[in-house]
Amino acid sequence: MKISDAMKVLRKSDSENIFNLYVVTEKKMYPFKNMTVGQRKSISKVAIDTNDTTFDIDFHLMYLGVLQELCIDDTFNVSNLTDVDFIVLVADLRRNIIMDDLTITSTCPKCNAKTNFRLEFNKIVESGKNYEPVHFEMVKMINGKSVKFLIDDPLITTYLSYLNYIQVHKTSPKLAELVDIGKLKVMNYPLQFLRDIMIDDEKVSDFNEMNFAKKVKFIDDTFDSEIMYGKDGVFTKIYNDVPDNRVSKLYPLIKCSKCPYERESVVTFDNFFSF
């Protein structure tokens, strides 16, 4: 970290100890205090120790812990955050703690040219404010009972549990032998969006508390695969109706300096606080 940046951070933390951050799905601001040097250090340290933080569960959990610690409103609960809430909150936090944007070098996947671009955090927060959360329900009659499936953006904890589920299968030789990981990932992707199930207007009480493996088992044991994966199935509708770039659309586009290729500038969170 450059001395000038360090001075800026110090000045910033002296002048504004409390700032408000936006939670997308609640359309509400929450008050946060500044990160301590210790918290910043722990985040940088885990980022350095991890090869790719995008899919690292510990890294995300640590971030969630820090967010919970920093919020001074008791009603704020990281367990209620969706994946989009999380990205926008972290971008907004970075924007408030370090005022500057981030310069990132990106390599074009088409022509390999390197392009430097400014990642403007306020643009991520703005996209978050315009984001339309996924929200719909499907009702099916199953054995004379009305079953309602409630579909919403994945909670960040559900997303982490999904990552963990895939990770466990990947790293266990026994399990990896039994299943095709690629298929497992795709098959179970929509389950992240299934927030609740009501059977005859009564909530399946512990569905939300189940870890991902338990949810997979519950779905397999309870519903015929046609109900979930058939032409008019619940998961089929999620595949068809939820854009698969809904999260990456939060990030500004990077245009290649050499060829016409452009894509969303998805960045990993280790960049956000490592200095």
- Compute, in degrees rounded to 10, the torsion defined by CA atoms 177, 182, 187, 189: 120
Minimum distance of Zn ion from residue 249's CB (angstroms): 20
Residue 234's Cβ-side half-sphere holds a number of Cα atoms within 13 Å equal to 29
Catalog residues that contact Zn ion under the rule CB under 5 A. Answer: 108, 110-111, 113, 256, 258-259, 261
CB-nearer residue toward Zn ion: 73 or 262: 262
Cβ density class 206-234: b for 16+ within 10 Å, e for less: ebbeeebeebbebbeeebeeebbeeeebb
Q: Which is nearer to Zn ion, 48 or 111 (CB)?
A: 111
Q: How far is the CB of 111 from Zn ion (least distance, A)?
A: 3
Question: Which is nearer to Zn ion, 110 or 203 (by Cβ)?
Answer: 110
Residue 12's identity, in one-letter code, is K
- Find where tokens 């990456």 sit: 248
**What minimum distance in Å lies between the beta carbon of 245 and Zn ion?**
19
For Zn ion, the closer of residues 107 and 225 by Cβ is 107
Closest by Cα among 36, 92, 101 to 65: 36
The residue among 25 and 106 lying less far from Zn ion, judged by its C-beta, is 106
Cβ nearer to Zn ion, comparing 106 with 188: 106
* Rounded least distance, CB 63 to Zn ion, Å: 32
| Greatest Cα pair distance in the chain | 69
Select from 81, 90, 162, 156 the least CA-distant residue to 124: 90
CB of 256 to Zn ion, least distance (A): 3
Minimum gap (Å) between residue 54 Cβ and Zn ion: 22
Q: Kindly report the CA angle at 46 between 40 and 50, in degrees rounded to 5?
A: 145
**127, 149, 70, 105: which is closest to 246 by C-alpha?**
127
